Amino acid sequence: MNKNIETDRCSFRRMFPLFFAALSLLAVFGSATPSGAFITKMGDMPLTIMGYINQGLGYGITGDEHYDTKEGPQSAYYNVLLEMELEVSPNLRFFGSGMLTGDWAYEFLSGDSEWEKKAFVNSRDELAHDTVLRDLLQEAHVTWTPGNFYLRAGKQIVVWGETDGFRIMDQINPLDQRRGITDVEFESTVLPTWLLRAQCFFQPQSTWLQDLGFEFVFNPNADFEKNRDIVPGNDVAGIWAPNVLVPLGPGTDAHLGSLNYDLKEPDTWDSDGFEYGLRVRSVVRDAILTLNYFYGLDNSPITKNAPMMPDIEVSPWDNMLIIHPYVEGYYPLFRFGGATFTKDFPNISSSALGGVAPVLRLEGFYAFSNTFTNDQKNTFETHDEIRWAIGVDWKVKVDWLNPRAYFMISPQFYHRYVVDYPDAGQTLTATASTAVKENNYQTSLMINTTYFHNKLQPSIFWLGDWTYGRSGFIRPQLKYEYSSNWDFTLGAIFLYGDADASGKGFEPLRYKDHVYFTASYRF
């Protein structure tokens, strides 16, 4: 193990109780202000401190006969976020945030026979608590805004996309998905990156063009960061490890365990890891239009089987073999040009539905020479591809269900098309080990509303993948805003997958059904 990482972990374990207590006390003092933020001064400069503390509990509701899950209490995810902004002058600000993230399940399930025999205990170093500095330090940047110019340098998040759930244009910042589909704050899943971002804005004197802006983003590869995907193996992915069976012969299968990776990635400050983004944003006849271009690396690696015999062990839970293959790969080039379009359509509004106009969102790009793995040949090959999505946001009034508030209904459709797909009998795997066909389809639907002066917020989200049979998940959720500081969330996630699409879509996750409860305190 890297000595510096181990030193960071030891320091974290010693300081964590004190740090957590200090944040809790700060939350109490901060709540004295109406906004929940703690405002003070550093010299003559205003300093704003805010954040939140989340504590969740996940309860598995799928039978314990499945190797990849655990019935009963199975997770206790937490987030502690602290944000500070220092206003040096009206156009110069410093911002920094730190976050503790982890799962107390590794403490309260220590010694549990099922937890240990299914090898979940072995994922402790990866998932119990984020302890290295790069994870504890979230955003850290300085922003300078003289006139119509905007410059931000430092560790930050850049949002380009217009869709929810489908990351099409949002390819600059990687994601941390190791802890699966659960009720954590969305911001905690996006990984800030060291970037230089510049924008300039104009207001043209035109009746059809109301606004025009240019944005340039540069990633100097100061600290190579990549997606942290859900990967095979209970020993590294914990409770969210996919259930994939490896056929060994007629009627005989083995579990797919963790993979032995040999991945090439660019060194720090290496120009091979430089990334560039350019966006033009305009308001044309009340429609928001952007043109986007990105040149960089894919945030997930492309891999193929390495010419080595896999490691094999026997599971003490069900006595089945566990196969640990060797794979090799790298982070391929990722280049695309695309656009987004957002506009409301007042002519479609209906007084019977509340009179609010629907908002149309379009987003898509054309990617050049993306790298795929030909599964039959076990070789890499390149193909152009198109990804696009369309979505609608519509607030409608349904008096007999809710006479005081609107329902927000947001359906979406996503399509991914691979150009010059191989001949029949050959299949492709994309980065993040995602199996893709020539045409790949997904749909989603979000419905939410509020009751009791916005305090009670029920919602339901559904995502369906139609590429390999039918798979997806449904998430009903109820959130209660007790006060400006406290809120509580109760929800459940039900996953499903076509048994004939083994290892594809959401099928490997279909035994992950669980109920979750989260308490959150904002300060």
Return the pLDDT at 31: 41
Number of neighbouring beta carbons within 10 Å of residue 348: 11
Coil, helix or strand at residue 424 = coil
Q: Do the Cβ atoms of 216 and 206 come closer than 8 Å?
A: no
What is the CB-side half-sphere exposure of residue 505 using CA atoms within 13 A? 26
**Is pLDDT above 50 for 517?**
yes
**Is pLDDT above 50 for 206?**
yes
Coil, helix or strand at residue 166 = coil
Mean pLDDT on 1-30: 43
Q: Which residues of 497-516 are buried (b: 16+ CB within 10 A; e: fewer)?
A: bbeebbbbbbbbbbbbbbeb
Return the pLDDT at 36: 62
Asked whether the whole model's pTM tops 0.75, one would answer yes
Window from 15-19, 61-65, 234-238 with minimum mean pLDDT = 15-19
Closest CA relative to residue 247, chosen from 514, 522, 503, 517? 503
**Is pLDDT above 50 for 28?**
no
Rounded to whole angstroms, the Cα distance separating 231 from 499 reads 20
pLDDT (tens digit per residue) in 102-158: 999 999 999 999 999 999 999 999 999 998 999 999 999 999 999 999 999 999 999
Mean pLDDT on 160-182: 88
Taking the C-alpha atoms of 221, 224, 228 and 229 in order, what is their torsion angle to the nearest 10 degrees? 70
User: pLDDT confidence of 180, banded at 50, 70, 90?
Assistant: confident
Return the pLDDT at 188: 60
* Average pLDDT of the chain to the nearest whole number: 90
Amino acid making up residue 457: Q
**Is pLDDT above 50 for 15?**
no
Number of neighbouring beta carbons within 10 Å of residue 70: 24
User: pLDDT confidence of 61, banded at 50, 70, 90?
Assistant: very high
Mean pLDDT on 324-349: 95
End-to-end alpha carbon distance in the chain: 37
pLDDT (tens digit per residue) in 77-116: 999 999 999 999 999 999 999 999 999 999 999 999 999 9
Mean pLDDT on 399-424: 95
Pairing status of strand 287-297 against strand 252-256: unpaired
Name the token pair of 495.
């996953």
User: pLDDT confidence of 352, banded at 50, 70, 90?
Assistant: confident
**Is pLDDT above 90 for 264?**
yes
Return the pLDDT at 183: 53
**Is pLDDT above 70 for 6?**
no
**Is pLDDT above 90 for 452?**
yes
**Is pLDDT above 90 for 22?**
no
